[in-house]
Structure 1
Amino acid sequence: MAVRRQAQTWSGWLVAGALTASLAGCGGGGWFGGSGGAQGTSPDPTITDGRDREAALAGSGTVWDLFVNASPPDTTVEVNRYLWNAALEVLDFLPVETVDPFSGVIVTGFGTPPGGGRAYRAAVLVNDPAMDARSINVALMTRAGPADPATVRAIEDAIMTRARQLRVRDGRL
């Protein structure tokens, strides 16, 4: 009976040791957080100081880095003000539902353009500070579904034209 209890104890320790060794191998940093190689070696042979090694290894993250908010809190999306104002002016016939100048989003409700019979709803995203057609995304809906791509393109062109006019008026060519 004592031999059997001793065998169970040893097998428990062996299982615990095997689990510990396998988990230590998953870290990618050696047994105890080292570089995994000989003492004093680093991935970059020009790095000799321990602080430099930490900076070089900082790019290799772990699973736990997913739970850390590493982005600075004051990071914002830059929005081109000419495109922003032009979008508001071109779509002024639509009732504005949501406006967020910090993220560059404009969402409108349904409205009919002057001289038109079909109601439209628009969502505009200004996502870049550049005065470029790639900086603006327009989604246009009718009550029946998505609007014609030619209509969306015409709205985008009107916004870009008005943005250029505002920029020229400001004198910042």
Structure 2
Amino acid sequence: MLAGCGAGSQTDYDSYPGSAPGDQRVGTEGRAATKADVKERGGLFGGDGLNIFGGEEKKEGPSSGIGVNSFLWRATLDTLSFMPLNSADPFGGVIITDWYTPPESSDERFKLTAYILGTALRSDAIKVSVFRQVNVGPNQWQDAVVEPGTVTSMEDAILTRARQLRIDSANSE
């Protein structure tokens, strides 16, 4: 009954080519990989090795510490600052707000998700999704249509603020 748990014999390894304990891995040229091949490719964890305790990191040019365009990131946070934040991921470039009810209209609420899609300050690097709900009863909300211009105006406001931040940054240097 426990035969499947036993140590493998040589015949077990024969049914799986290349899996015997003494077999060597084959390189890309059809020959066995040598230590020099592994060293040339950078080893198991790449050319820089495995860095689990911090230490020096190699930087390739200027970096803001986040994975997306820093002007778009700050502009999005500034533009959506009137809404409560649910989550913000600067490395993935996603900002999600919680539901917001405008003071002038207590029968509707909005939620926004902003995606920063790149490191360049361009109009296609920002995408906003707007969700709207209307109140249909006590604590009952129903999804409603968002006016088409709402998304465009939010994206334009974010881009305008990002350009302002970039100009201010260039003038302060």
| TM-score of Structure 1 vs Structure 2, range by shorter chain | 0.5 to 0.7
Report 1:42-53 matches (<5 A).
Answer: 43-44=28-29, 50-53=34-37
- Residue by residue over 1:3-58, the C-alpha shift from the partner in whole angstroms, topping out at 9 and shown as x without a partner, is xxxxxxxxxxxx954421122x155x9961242xxxxxx5459x9x9333224678
Matched, 1:95 2:84: yes
SS of the aligned residue for 1:119 comes to strand
How many residue pairs were aligned? 140
Instruction: Look up the SS of the partner of 2:118 in the other structure.
Output: coil
Identity score, percent? 27
Helix, strand or coil for the counterpart of 2:161?
helix
Change (3 A) 1:33 1:56: farther
Per the TM alignment, residue 87 of structure 1 is displaced from its structure 2 partner at its CA by: 0.9
> Mean Cα displacement is larger for which, 83-92 or 71-80?
71-80
Q: 1 CA distance for matches of 2:147 and 2:50?
A: 39
Whole-angstrom CA distance in 2 between matches of 1:57 and 1:22: 31
Aligned partner letter, 2:116: V
Structure 1 gap segments, 5+ residues each: 1-14, 36-41
Deviations 1:49-96 (A, max 9, x none): 93332246789x9xxx9xxxx976679752222111211222222122
Using the alignment, how far apart are the partners of 1:71 and 1:114 within structure 2?
53
CA RMSD of aligned residues (A): 4.2
The answer to whether residue 150 in structure 2 is matched with residue 166 in structure 1 is no
Which residue number in structure 1 is paired with residue 121 of structure 2?
131
Q: Which runs of 5+ in 2 are unaligned?
A: 1-7, 58-64, 134-142
Query: How far, CA to CA, are the matches of 2:25 and 2:89 in structure 1?
Result: 47
Letter matched to residue 80 of structure 1: N
Aligned-residue offset at 1:109 = 1.6
For the residue of structure 2 that corresponds to 1:171, the secondary structure is helix
Normalised TM-score (structure 2): 0.57
1:81 lines up with 2:82 in the alignment: no
TM-score, scaled to structure 1: 0.57
